[in-house]
């Protein structure tokens, strides 16, 4: 598996407008745009930082994964995403090593990326996302 870089850091927010205000007005980061990913019940907003990004995540449904995360742990850091060269190969390698996967096959993420999550039980408690962008 070849990890190219940290693609983004995911931050769960209760309110996208309040979250955007802090990252853009207080920290001065440029807002790149928002996107709703219906399949994941989430709206995302991206703020580039060098070669990586901060991704804000607001649930679009009370039963969505981000809503459940906030209910359990509160708003804040939710996941780290690593950009990989080939996500299918990365998942196969991790599976062969016995790593517990949330996603056995990639799914569509924001910006048309192919994404897959590793279970926090396999990573020392951190939700890890793999991301492949074309």
DSSP state of 87: H
* SS3 call for 94: helix
The tally of domains found in the chain comes to: 1
Q: What is the pLDDT of residue 134?
A: 84
pLDDT at residue 111 tops 90: no
| CATH number (domain holding residue 77) | 3.10.180.10
β-strands 52-59, 114-118 pairing: unpaired
Cα Rg of the chain (Å, integer): 15
Task: Note the pLDDT tens digit of each residue in 45-59.
Answer: 999 999 999 999 999
Of 123, 111, 90, 88, which Cα lies nearest the Cα of 40?
111
How much of the chain, in percent, has pLDDT values that exceed 90? 96
Q: Which domain holds residue 12?
A: 3-132
- Cα diameter, the chain: 45
Please give the model's pTM, rounded to 2 decimal places: 0.92
Contact at 8 Å (CB) between 35 and 43? yes
Instruction: List CB contacts of 98: < 8 A, sequence separation 6 or more.
Output: none
DSSP string, 19-33: HHIIIIIIT-PPP-E
pLDDT mean over 91-115: 95
């Amino acid at each position: 598996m070849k990890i190219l870089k940290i693609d983004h850091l995911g931050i769960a927010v209760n309110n996208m407008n309040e979250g955007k205000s802090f990252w853009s007005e207080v920290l001065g980061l440029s807002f790149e745009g928002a996107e709703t990913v219906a399949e994941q019940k989430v709206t995302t907003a991206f703020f580039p930082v060098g070669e990586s990004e901060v991704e804000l995540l607001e649930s679009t449904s009370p039963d969505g994964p981000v809503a459940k995360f906030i209910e359990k742990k509160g708003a804040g850091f939710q996941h780290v995403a690593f950009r990989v060269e080939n996500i299918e190969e990365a998942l196969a390698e991790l599976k062969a090593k016995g790593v517990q996967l949330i996603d056995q096959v990639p799914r569509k993420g924001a910006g048309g990326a192919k994404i897959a999550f590793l279970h926090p039980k396999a990573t020392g408690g951190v939700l890890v996302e793999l991301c492949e962008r074309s």
